[in-house]
Amino acid sequence: MIATEPKDIHYHYDGIKYSIEDTSLFEKTEIYIDGKFKSSLLGKPNEFLGKIKIRDKEFDYSAYPIKFSNENLAPLEHQIITE
């Protein structure tokens, strides 16, 4: 049996926040991702355990991991936000 070890993730991205109604309104945004990513086997979902910070909002997944779909997509749950 092959087991995968969680991979440490430490990313910092620069992005922009804009309005689709008025694209002239935009502001710079920083995104920080800090945690562990676990690739799963045998059809189980991949998981991320850690924190994601977008501007002044922090999504804390330290206790409950994000579980990814088969397409590697996952929603950010609003009840996990800390400010």
Interval 29-73: pLDDT, tens: 999 999 999 988 777 889 999 999 988 889 899 888 889 888 888
Question: Would you put residue 42 in left (φ > 0), alpha (ψ -120 to 50) or beta?
Answer: left
Whether the predicted pLDDT of 13 surpasses 70: yes
The ranges assigned to domains in the chain are: 7-82
Residue 5 and residue 44: Cα distance in Å, rounded? Answer: 15
pTM beyond 0.85: no
pLDDT category of residue 76 using cuts at 50, 70 and 90:
confident
How distant is the alpha carbon of residue 13 from its chain centre?
A: 12
